[in-house]
Structure 1
Amino acid sequence: MAVNQTQSSLVIPDNNASVSGNPGPWTEPTFTLAAKVRVGVTCCFFLIASCSNVAVLCSISGKRCKSHLRVLILSLSVADLLVTFLVMPLDSLWNVMVQWYAGELSCKVLNFGKLFAMYSAALVLVVISLDRHWAILYPLSFTSAGQRNRIMLWTAWITSLLLASPQLFLFRLRTAPGVNFTQCATHGSFTQHWQETAYNMFTFCTLFVTPLVVMIVCYTRILWEIGKQMKHKNELARSKNDLISKARLKTLKMTLVIVASFMVCWTPYYLLGLWYWFQPEMINQTPEYLNHSLFLFGLLHTCTDPLVYGLYTPSFKEDLRSWIRRISSILSRRAKNSKQLAISELNIKDLTSMEGPTSTAVTMQSVF
């Protein structure tokens, strides 16, 4: 799968050389310029994604929107933070260190957590798509939306755990023969090449294809239903129900943009991974920066989610302005206090120089 191959440029160029029986020349990987750029950009994404998603979490902690929608956005922010705090640091450190120094247990656990974060981010988007599907097509089921969404979210998180669990058994430490180079990889965990390809295709389908198909089907039906309603405008009353419909349409636009950004950001990288699984030799034919660039483009999705939420949520904008005012107030207050303290210290020094050491004690006692 694509996540397993994020370090493909750091491992043996042909992962299946020993399986296919065509071992090629191997050179020890290095921390290249392309990898350095990847680490630098990932650090920038880390700062942006962590701050923005934490801001969204703080904002939705206030019950300003309906509970079932609040839980969905909360879960999406948590999933994005998992990607931010698990995938990004691990990817950066791995590129810097080139080989693996942390032991086999951490090799298994960290790669499990990495895939779990990727699964949770994708499946939570599926839950959001299904919620919008029911909200638009079956508006009378609104009262049961909260309970239904909680069940779907629990299913999404548990399914993510189960689907990521094979990483605990597949990843292991492998040492290149004849050299002092150890890597954390799936190399050697499959006895036949088709087994590795089958597992990669299964992960590709469950991590990307299936969520993508569900999202496309949901939003296609939604847009089709909206198109039918637009043809029968005379049946829509200008009443409170129409206002509720407009609110749902606004939420629909927000979730549609979030899902579209997921598709746009991750599709190129997964297509590259698909090409690699069936033609492993292509890793030597494609430029190194291409793999790095497409993976970074996928990580960009964790930064776009809070931005889209902020654009479509007035309460988030208000909270953001309030936080900025508070921070500015705190900084100005500290600057004022430090200025007053500096003036007091200057006065003390002046008095000391004028009146001698005896008056110094009196002055210090009056100040403190």
Structure 2
Amino acid sequence: AVVFNVERHDIITNYYQCVTFKFFDAEWKLRLYNTICLIAMYFGPLIAIYEVENDFTLRTAEENESIKLHIAKTSISLYIQHRNSILRKTKRKTLKMTIIIVVAFIICWSPYAFMVLWYQFHSESVENVDSLIQEGLFIFAVANSCVNPFVYKLNLVKKLSPNLCVV
């Protein structure tokens, strides 16, 4: 690895770990590295999720207008109307699910991203924040991976609930 190197622990002599503390020769380089990592972990995915959701919303709106024009210009069967109705409902559900995923991502990662940026640019004041709170914010961020299955499960339960037998 370019940034990390393996170093022996100071107290436990037979324990080695990956560290960065001997790589950066200036504080600004470490700050730059950590900021780039935060951009890659938080802002990159957030922008990607937003762009995909925005593109989906625009395409859905365009397709709905196209369907309306098509229906207005031709005599269309009830089957096609029903199929288009199902398609619109499916798109709405997908959009709703996308929004929920984006909101879950923002709720989970924003406090951690805020703390990282705060630490990078004003580390003296962050040191006054209780370490338990700092650890909690980190756990909250990585908990996003634990939240997503519940988000998907809620949608699946709604979909399957008419077919489930309650004993």
TM-score by length of 1: 0.35
Between the aligned partners of 1:302 and 1:317, the Cα distance in structure 2 is 23
Matches within 5 A, 1:252-267: 252-267=95-110
SS state at 2:43 partner: helix
Q: Are 1:311 and 2:145 an aligned pair?
A: no
Number of the residue aligned with 1:300: 143
| Corresponding position of 1:282 | 125
Which residue in 1 is equivalent to 2:7? 173
Matched residue, 1:186: 20
Query: Which of 30, 33, 37 is equivalent to 1:203?
Result: 37
Contact kept, 8 Å, 1:310 with 1:317, in 2: the verdict is no
SS at match of 1:313: helix
- Higher gyration radius (CA): 1
Q: 1:280 to 1:188 in 2, by over 3 A?
A: farther
Q: Structure 1 pair 261/195, CA: closer, same or farther in 2 (3 Å)?
A: same
Structure 2 counterparts to residues 132-281 of structure 1, below 5 A: 166=2, 169-173=3-7, 175-176=9-10, 180=11, 184=17, 185-226=19-60, 234-235=68-69, 237=71, 238-281=81-124
Which residue type is aligned with residue 188 of structure 1? K
Report the Cα distance in structure 1 between the residues aligned to 2:118 and 2:110, rounded to whole angstroms. 12
Structure 2: gaps spanning 5 or more residues: 72-80
> Mind listing any 5+ residue stretches in structure 1 that lack a counterpart?
1-164, 326-368
Partner SS, residue 7 of structure 2: strand
TM-aligned CA deviation for residue 299 of structure 1? 2.8
Higher relative CO (Cα under 8 Å, sequence separation at least 6) belongs to 1
Aligned residues: 152
Is the CA contact (8 Å cut-off) linking 2:100 and 2:151 kept in structure 1? yes
Secondary structure at the counterpart of residue 191 of structure 1: coil
* SS of residue paired to 2:84: helix
Tell whether the 8 Å contact from 2:108 to 2:144 is kept in structure 1 after alignment.
yes
Greater Cα offset, 243-252 or 300-309: 243-252
Q: Deviations over 1:171-223 (max 9, x none)?
A: 433655xxx36784321221122221222122112221122112122223433
Maintained 8 Å contact 2:57/2:95: no
In 1, the alpha carbon distance for the partners of 2:99 and 2:150 equals 14
C-alpha displacement of 1:265:
0.4
The CA distance in 2 between the partners of 1:240 and 1:227, in whole Å, is: 17
**Structure 2 CA distance for aligned equivalents of residues 308 and 194 of structure 1:** 39
Decide whether aligned partners of structure 1 residues 263 and 171 sit closer, same or farther in structure 2, where only a CA change above 3 A counts.
farther
Q: Secondary structure at the match of 2:118?
A: helix
Q: Are 1:236 and 1:242, in contact at CA under 8 Å, matched by a contact in 2? A: no
- Give the 3 Å change call, closer, same or farther, for CA 236–171 of structure 1 in structure 2: farther
SS at 1:239 equivalent? helix
2:75 matched residue in structure 1:
none
Q: In percent, how many aligned pairs have the same letter?
A: 24
| Secondary structure of 1:285 counterpart | coil
Shift of 1:293: 2.0
Distance in 1 of aligned mates of 2:27 and 2:91: 49
Given that 2:50 and 2:102 are in contact with CA atoms closer than 8 Å, whether structure 1 keeps it comes out as no
